[in-house]
Structure 1
Amino acid sequence: MSDTTEFANEKATPLGGFAPAKGSDAASFYDPTKESLMTRIGLTKESFKRAPGTTRGMVAHGDVPIEYLEHDNPGYQQTMKPRHLQMIAVAGTIGTGLFVGSGSALATGGPAGILIAWAVVGVMLMNVTQALGEMSIVYPVSGGFYTLASRMLDPAFAFSMGWNYLIQWAIILPLELTVANTTVQYWNTSLSQAEWITIFFVVILIAVLFGTIGFAEEEFWSSLLRIIVAVIFLIIGIVCICGGGPKSGDYNHYIGGSLWQSPGAFANGFKGVCSVFVTAAFSFSGTELVGLAAAETPNPRKTIPTAVKQTFWRVTMVYIVCLTIIGLAIPYDDPRLYNGTGASASPFVILMVKAGIHGIDHLVNVTILIAVLSIGLSAVYAGSRMLTAIAETGYAPSCFTYIDKAGRPLWSLVAICAFGPIAYVNCADVGGAVFDWLLALSGLSTLFTWLSITITHIRFRRAWKVQGHSVDELPYRAFGGVYGSYLGSFLIVLVVIAQFYTAVWPIGEQPHGAEAASTFFQTFLSLPILIAMWILGYLWKRTLPKRAKDIDLDTGRKSWLTAEEGRAYRAERAAAPLYVKIYRFLFA
């Protein structure tokens, strides 16, 4: 049956997918809404049974290769609401990178250095999210960008990138448990490290039990708290800079931009800015979760454009404005930026202490703690979805394709959660060194993932054109088009070069011998591992990249327009009033 004939026999559903064609076996489609509420949220014995068939009537189009069948018909429940999707990427980025990491970045790059770095990385992020949004609407498939990289680029490369991404999140889980323990020590509690790690691990496991909806609700409310605290900080910061702080504090007079004059705008010159580029890039890691979550939202065509746009504006603007206030209010040579640990090194806390405002530091520390646990939960979510996708393409044991009636990739969740107890290593003296090398295994994973997204988008656009399609058929087009992906790729490569530069010639006294080698490989170890796994993937499956005319553009395609419909749709939007156009450009 040709694609055109098959499309004509299908009926579009309000859920953004497609109902089975007339005469097909409707009984093979599983509707999770028929289950009890307790089963759907994972609180019954029945919820742990494997979900039969597919969900929401989403069917494959054209000839379906076996390795893509599960991606086209995911067993996940499409339970994420627009508000959930819009907050998921925000939750993964506005956290310790802003509340704590910005302090060390200020000390390294100075107030001008951090603004330059975050602005450039913000442009890079915009192009990555736009490319991801365009593809995720057309292909809301299990595994998201991993599956599309396997199809559009090369299965062996996708295998390498997917496992590297999986390892990254698997290591982040015990790391965040460790950071949570450090954060809570701000209150000088009597419980031991092991006891706090156990408590936090149990909290994450309970949240995991509730499946997708548990993750989505937690991310929404924790993100909202972080944004509220950031806004409170901005208001207090502006008042302090203008001299409106308490008389007993350091901000009882106008300081304006004096700190840009003394101690200065840049802390370590060009090298400092290069170092902050890397910090800025990693602070945005997690924005790509929107691509993984697309398979679990009922109407990607409606929700993903809003999520992509709001993610960029919220994350970038919150970072840029907060970093501006930090650079104006705190000198980069403040000793607390160097000597503090956990919340005590947070510029949010330092500003409150300098201003003589009591109590807010505890609110900031609570927010940091919630953010840390939220990122730990995101690690379980992202790692489990990626492991399931890798298994669906045959590069991991098939047991990891198991998805239960609550929409949980059950054995994948177990596998990722099994990394949690590694956090107890920190109870030993060698814990810090062990974690340094564990993190080195996937140190550049985020940048490789983003690069794969932009290159995949370039290949997608090429195949789309070669196979006779028009961009007018795309329900959503990336703001910069294919040129935006070229720019994004270029900026990502620049950040990797900056990482190499600062790894070989770090700030301060230059290391020698074994110390220099250790510093370099802790930064760049993931690159040779990525290449080795790429070679392994090729030797295993003997796959090669396909020519643009041979790339499969039908499997998993859930949303599209005819060229005429696309032009009519965009003509209608072009005729809207100016204020509506501005709103749509920014948010809808």
Structure 2
Amino acid sequence: MKKYDTEFVDNVTVQSASSSSYGYQTPTDEESGLKRDLKPRHLAMISIGGTIGQGLFLSSGANLSKAGPAGLLIAYMVIGSVAYFVALQLGEMSAYIPISGSFTVYCRRFVNKSFGNAVGYNYVFCWAIIVAVELTAIPMVMKFWTTVVPDWAWSFIFLLIMFVINLFGAKAWGEAEYWFTLIKILAVLLFVIVGCLTSGGVLGGEVYGFKYWVDPGAFSNGVLGVINAFVLAALTMTGVEIVGVTAGESKNPAKSIPSAVRNVFYRIVCIYLSTVFVMGMVIPYNDPHNFASGRDVSVSPFTLVFQAAKLDSAAHVVNAVILTTLLSCGNSGMYVTTRTLQALAKEGIAHPKLAYTTKSGVPIYALLCTCAVSLICFVTSFIPGEVLFLVLADLGGIAGLITWTAIAIAQYRFRKAFLAQGHSLSELPYRAIGYPFSNYFVVVACIVIILISGWSYFVPASPQGLVGSYGGPIIFISGMMIHKFWTKSRMVRIEEADIVTGARTEWKNDLIDSIDGDDSNRKRTIWRKIVTFIT
């Protein structure tokens, strides 16, 4: 430190796993083998990049047909609020205890070991399925340009690309995600601008305004449509918790994680709400293209809006952006699945080989295992009828909601334990707003959404839909209870919860050093200011 009073800093120790009195096996930074190579700008992009996927670019038209423009907007506002609070809650824990695996470890420490184990494997399954879904969608995008290459070949090529990016470690992955996400954000901003100009008649020669809110109407299927939109919107935004998984490889978590999670709200408003609002003005919910939007890039809502603006040639650009989106989501899925598997192995609840890291900080066996599981899930799409694959896709989506519920519960108990053990909130690098009411809101909202996810599958009865909607929660609860009875694990007492192991109590030093050593905070070019605003 240069000119700062050393009394500004409280305690500057980091407890290692070996010195902890709680008996957990959570590794410190050195023991985990991971490298803290992710910069603040990487985390700023990653905090929202994981949520922008094929759900927004391809499937949002199907969502519009189910709910109508007003119903879809309401659904995204509610789910956006849930996602925002989840990001804040995870940010509080991750900034103070920045470890790989983050919330799976937090659930074990602050709630129950069996609960944490189930959450960890639930999350691995969730993202392995997402990677498989992205691999399935990639050939659909490539068909826009050529039909010569077989579908499986395109999927294998892009799986190899994702593997190579992850093979070079967190720094390479973070850099790739930074630029992938920047492209996606710029594409969304361009879409919103073009959509507004089209709605006002500046482009395309026709004034739309709110005419489609009147005819065919603001709601397509009444309350049921809004309920369906809740489910679809939640599945679309799954990924906001990725920033917590990256905490163990962040250079300065006390600074970068709070900065990333604070901006999630604005990005949700600018990206999701503005996108679905513009979409509802230019595209009627009964447009026949909407029913095929999840499978055909040529009728993506983004493409339809550009066509309405008489910018047909932009279809190639939109297709390229969608391809980038699929690669980005698959890349993120491979990263978080790998890190979660490594954390589970370090905790002693997965094969110890999966904890091994290379000299460059890559959990190589966990990475290979992730590729294998995703590939197996992808192969199910070739089974006639795709029934098994569609069920897996639904299960993966619901798994994301289970993860959000777990994060809210873990942060609720973390805060209680932190205060009960004599600590002050001023010791936290970041404090989530709304406690404890935001936790109640997230838990209730996620549970309600899970329960109503299969609403439309009862009449007429659809075994495929019911299994996809409720199979995940049943497996999660069953696995947790079996492990609980087998190991006789109990609820962690608030007074005994481990809030020490891995905690970076020297975070104030980190902030001071970052200010001293970063001249870019004092001198910024106009270009850097623009990029900072966007990210």
TM over 0.5: yes
- In 2, distance between residues paired with 1:431 and 1:207? 33
Q: Mapping of 1:39-78 within 5 angstroms?
A: 59=16, 63-65=20-22, 67-70=24-27, 73-78=31-36
Secondary structure at 2:238's aligned position in 1? coil
- In 1, distance between residues paired with 2:390 and 2:437? 37
Deviating more after overlay: 474-483 vs 137-146 = 474-483
CA contact (8 A) 1:96 1:368 kept: yes
CA contact (8 A) 2:26 2:347 kept: no
Matched, 1:262 2:219: no
User: Shift of residue 441 of structure 1?
Assistant: 4.3
Secondary structure at 1:525's aligned position in 2? helix
- Which of 339, 361, 364 aligns to 1:407? It is 361
- In 1, distance between residues paired with 2:303 and 2:67? 20
- Which of 360, 370, 383 aligns to 2:337? It is 383
- Which of 110, 122, 130 aligns to 1:152? It is 110
- In 2, distance between residues paired with 1:134 and 1:61? 24
- In 2, distance between residues paired with 1:470 and 1:265? 49
User: Shift of residue 434 of structure 1?
Assistant: 2.6
User: Shift of residue 410 of structure 1?
Assistant: 1.2
Q: Letter of the aligned partner of 1:548 in structure 2?
A: I
Q: Letter of the aligned partner of 1:144 in structure 2?
A: S
User: Shift of residue 502 of structure 1?
Assistant: 3.5
Match of 1:309 in 2: 262
- In 1, distance between residues paired with 2:19 and 2:353? 27
User: Shift of residue 75 of structure 1?
Assistant: 1.6
Match of 1:538 in 2: 484
Matched, 1:350 2:320: no
Matched, 1:462 2:411: no
Q: Letter of the aligned partner of 2:143 in structure 1?
A: Q
Match of 1:286 in 2: 239
Percent sequence identity over matched residues?
33
- Which of 224, 241, 247 aligns to 2:199? It is 241
User: Shift of residue 371 of structure 1?
Assistant: 0.7
Secondary structure at 2:142's aligned position in 1? helix
Q: Mapping of 1:431-450 within 5 angstroms?
A: 432-450=386-404
Matched, 1:220 2:178: yes
- In 2, distance between residues paired with 1:497 and 1:423? 25
- Which of 133, 139, 156 aligns to 1:198? It is 156
Q: Letter of the aligned partner of 1:67 in structure 2?
A: Y
User: Shift of residue 174 of structure 1?
Assistant: 2.2
- In 2, distance between residues paired with 1:216 and 1:453? 23
Please list the CA deviations of residues 345-389 of structure 1 after superposition, one character each: whole Å capped at 9, or x if unmatched.
311101122332122111111111111111111111111111111
- In 1, distance between residues paired with 2:196 and 2:315? 17
User: Shift of residue 18 of structure 1?
Assistant: 5.9
Please list the CA deviations of residues 147-199 of structure 1 after superposition, one character each: whole Å capped at 9, or x if unmatched.
01000000101111111111111222222111111111122431111221222
CA contact (8 A) 1:137 1:559 kept: no
- In 2, distance between residues paired with 1:311 and 1:74? 28
- In 2, distance between residues paired with 1:587 and 1:242? 25
CA contact (8 A) 2:95 2:254 kept: yes
Match of 2:522 in 1: none
User: Shift of residue 201 of structure 1?
Assistant: 1.8
| Structure whose alpha-carbon radius of gyration is higher | 1
- In 2, distance between residues paired with 1:335 and 1:495? 27
TM-score, normalisation: structure 1: 0.81
Match of 2:371 in 1: 417
Q: Letter of the aligned partner of 2:292 in structure 1?
A: N
Q: Mapping of 1:426-575 within 5 angstroms?
A: 428=382, 430=384, 432-504=386-458, 510-512=459-461, 516-559=462-505
Aligned length: 504
Deviating more after overlay: 61-70 vs 278-287 = 61-70
- In 2, distance between residues paired with 1:318 and 1:380? 24
User: Shift of residue 429 of structure 1?
Assistant: 5.1
- Which of 36, 40, 48 aligns to 1:82? It is 40
CA contact (8 A) 1:174 1:421 kept: yes
Q: Letter of the aligned partner of 2:308 in structure 1?
A: K
Match of 1:53 in 2: none
User: Shift of residue 486 of structure 1?
Assistant: 1.9
CA contact (8 A) 1:156 1:538 kept: yes
User: Shift of residue 205 of structure 1?
Assistant: 2.0
User: Shift of residue 511 of structure 1?
Assistant: 2.0
C-alpha distance 553-86 of structure 1, shift in aligned 2 (>3 A) = same
Match of 2:322 in 1: 368
CA contact (8 A) 2:123 2:399 kept: yes
Match of 2:525 in 1: none
CA contact (8 A) 2:16 2:27 kept: no
User: Shift of residue 440 of structure 1?
Assistant: 4.4
CA contact (8 A) 1:173 1:419 kept: no
User: Shift of residue 313 of structure 1?
Assistant: 1.6
- In 2, distance between residues paired with 1:529 and 1:426? 20
- Which of 171, 195, 199 aligns to 2:129? It is 171
Match of 1:507 in 2: none
- In 2, distance between residues paired with 1:391 and 1:420? 19
TM-score, normalisation: structure 2: 0.89
- In 2, distance between residues paired with 1:427 and 1:161? 26
Match of 2:98 in 1: 140
User: Shift of residue 65 of structure 1?
Assistant: 4.6
- Which of 299, 311, 322 aligns to 2:252? It is 299
CA contact (8 A) 1:61 1:554 kept: no
CA contact (8 A) 2:75 2:229 kept: yes
CA contact (8 A) 1:108 1:276 kept: yes
Q: Letter of the aligned partner of 1:364 in structure 2?
A: V
- In 1, distance between residues paired with 2:172 and 2:356? 19
Secondary structure at 2:217's aligned position in 1? coil
User: Shift of residue 276 of structure 1?
Assistant: 0.3
- In 1, distance between residues paired with 2:379 and 2:401? 28
CA contact (8 A) 2:254 2:507 kept: no
- In 1, distance between residues paired with 2:89 and 2:506? 16
Which structure 1 residue ranges, 5 or more long, are not aligned? 1-10, 21-57, 247-251, 505-509, 563-585
Q: Letter of the aligned partner of 2:480 in structure 1?
A: W
Secondary structure at 1:481's aligned position in 2? coil
User: Shift of residue 237 of structure 1?
Assistant: 0.8
Match of 1:110 in 2: 68
- Which of 230, 236, 249 aligns to 1:277? It is 230
